[in-house]
Amino acid sequence: MTSLQAELKALIFGVRLAIDRGYSNLQLESDSLVLVQILQGKSRCPWRLQGDLQDLLKVKRFVRKVSHCFREANKPADRLANIGADSGTILTYDSLRELPRLVRGDFILDQMGVPSLRRVKV
């Protein structure tokens, strides 16, 4: 599976989960600029992703906006993606309290407007 396909599958899972929980008028963000451009109709979709893209388009009426954000701009989501990739299983959290401690901390700092800094090893 390519990273683009993994991003699309994760997005579909998240949208379906939100719809199942009664949410609509969704705003989707992805750190994959290519995926965002495909969803916005600005780039062509690789043929092997067509089936997944069609699945997402079936629930398009629930999506208000699709936008790109840099990975560093959403540290809680980045950390959750890493946790999910490391676990190899599907993890869902129903409340802020259930989130792993570090993710909860990132979320609170983000709400407070504290800049997120990323340390890079050289």
Over the stretch 41-71, which tens digit does the pLDDT of each residue have? 999 999 999 999 999 999 999 999 999 988 7
pLDDT of residue 76: 87
Instruction: Give the integer Cα–Cα distance in Å for 118 and 101.
Output: 18
Q: State residue 91's pLDDT score.
A: 87
pLDDT value of position 20:
95
Q: Say how far apart CA 81 and CA 63 lie, in whole Å.
A: 21
Q: What percent of the chain has pLDDT over 90?
A: 56
% of residues, the chain, pLDDT over 70:
100
Residue 116: band (very low, low, confident or very high) from pLDDT cuts 50, 70, 90: confident
CB 52, CB 14: distance < 8 Å: no
